Homo-oligomer: A and B are copies of this chain.
Amino acid sequence: MRIGELAERAGTTTRTLRYYESRGLLPARRTEQGHRVYDEGDLRLLREIRTLQDFGFGLEETRPFVDCLRAGHPAGDSCPASVAVYRRKLGELDALLGRLQEARDQVAVQLLRAEAELPSGPAPRCELGTETTASTEE
């Protein structure tokens, strides 16, 4: 399988695959013409990477998982290094969620307060034809 097909089957782009290779994450064999050649195993690795990316992992953080699979383990997280990354990431996510939740609540409070103080009314719905609020541009 060549780069175009792999990209399509994994739902990504050829640019991404070349990028991964440049990072040493997903090297490919080559034909005599220099074209990259992949197999089903590479598709598996690629899907592992993409899944982790969706979870918010950085590329470097997916490396232990890829190495683990390539070492013959049944899953990308069958290695201690991968599990360690899980733990670290979980902590980061929790920290991030905490900060975001706090910010969200602050914004919610400010919004309610500001709406309450707006003289033109909170305009929850059905507020037609207020002169000042014309032309809701998009």
Contacts and interface: CB of A to CB of B under 8 A. Distances in A.
Contact of A93 (B104, B115, B117): B104
A89 interface: yes
Interface of A: 54-56, 75, 77-78, 80, 82-83, 86-87, 89-90, 93-94, 96-97, 100-101, 103-104, 106-108, 110-111, 113-115, 117-118, 120, 132-133
A110 B54 contact: no
Main secondary structure of the interface of A (DSSP, over half): helix
Given A77-B114, A78-B117, A114-B78, A54 B103 contact: yes
A93 B103 contact: yes
B108 A90 contact: yes
A104 B90 contact: yes
